[in-house]
Copies of this chain bind each other. A is one copy, B any other.
Amino acid sequence: MAGVSAKTVSRVLNEEPHVTAKVRERVKRAILALDYRPNPAARSLAAARTFLIGMLGVRLDGFYFSQLHRSASQACRAQGFHLVMEEVGMRERDWIAAVERNLHYMRYEGVILCPPLSDCVALLDLLESRGIRSVGISPVTRDHRCDIVETDEAGGMAQLAEHLWKLGHRRINLISGLENSVSALRPEYFTKAYVALGGDIRDVSFTRMAWQGNVVEIGRQLAEDTLAGERMPTAVVSFDDETAAAMISYAHERGLSVPCDLSVVGFDDADLAQLVWPPITTIHQPLDDMARAAVSLLLEPSPDGEPRKLCFPVRLIIRGSTGPVRQQG
């Protein structure tokens, strides 16, 4: 091509040094003119690279993952990489073996772990043993074995505690999601903030999600459990907007008014939060920034090899699903 060796073309394409500006220009022109595109399989084979980044999650639907995927995908493309999203069937037996096959087949150069996978020891072990770099999104575990992108959960809960406190709520129920997920940390953060405001620790009660059935069933079950006791909470804080929506729906069904009889708080600021009535007070995370950061961490390894941690702020968005607690008549 253009009277240069294959190797020179390769050097230009890969932006290697030691190429004259003149030659570089000539090759670039030829590449454009011929619409030449290197064969990725050949490149992979020769260089033992794939330029593929994997993104592993347990549920692709829902706002959280799609948003992360979109932003990470763009960030990857900008750096000459390609992002592939994989759904991990954590509930199937041998799922780790399935992931292993997957990793082997795709040969990702790096992997982004969405919660709750960012806390899965078996998976981290697997990645480590295969020598695949990874970045975890919002893990719970403290001793990080890979780079981390997380949110200021404590800050979010502090904002929320203050909001509910000012509205006069003194019977608050917190619903946390999967055991190994960020939401498992929130009860503690919330309680601390609530107590710091002068609240009684006994005002706060807890419910935990059971992992069975689909969103609708889970939401309904949690709603029933939470609102069943005779001393019903005046505010319920859920670990995502779906469950919060289910809670509101259940309240409607029971003839309870939201927020008059019950305030409901979600998490994530998904579209859904604004599609239901009343719209859901929720906590917004900067998912775009987080995804971009994850890609950066992956593609720019830390010089000293020390695991890095990036923490992003969250923001309480107050909507109609929370209001002042009704005065006891």
Contacts and interface: CB of A to CB of B under 8 A. Distances in A.
Interface of A: 37, 39-42, 44-45, 50, 59-63, 65-67, 69-70, 73, 82, 84-85, 87, 101-102, 104-107, 214-216, 219, 242, 245-246, 248-249, 252-253, 271-272, 274-279
Given A42-B45, A271-B242, A61 B50 contact: no
A84 to B, nearest CB: 5
Kindly report how many copies of this chain are found in the complex they form together: 2
Nearest to A63: B61
Contacts of A106: 40, 82
Contact of A252 (B37, B70, B85, B277): B277
A175 B272 CA distance: 20
A209 B204 CA distance: 45
A232 to B, nearest CB: 18
B67 A275 contact: no
A282 to B, nearest CB: 13
Nearest to A220: B274
B73 A87 contact: yes
Nearest to A245: B275
A222 B104 CA distance: 47
Given A85-B85, A249-B276, A275-B216, A69 B60 contact: yes
Contacts of A73: 87
B249 A104 contact: no
Contacts of A60: 60, 66, 69-70, 85
Nearest to A74: B89
A65 B248 CA distance: 26
19 contacts: A37-B104, A40-B107, A41-B42, A41-B44, A41-B45, A41-B107, A42-B45, A44-B44, A59-B66, A60-B60, A60-B69, A60-B70, A60-B85, A61-B63, A62-B66, A216-B271, A245-B275, A249-B275, A272-B272
A257 to B, nearest CB: 11
A249 B258 CA distance: 13
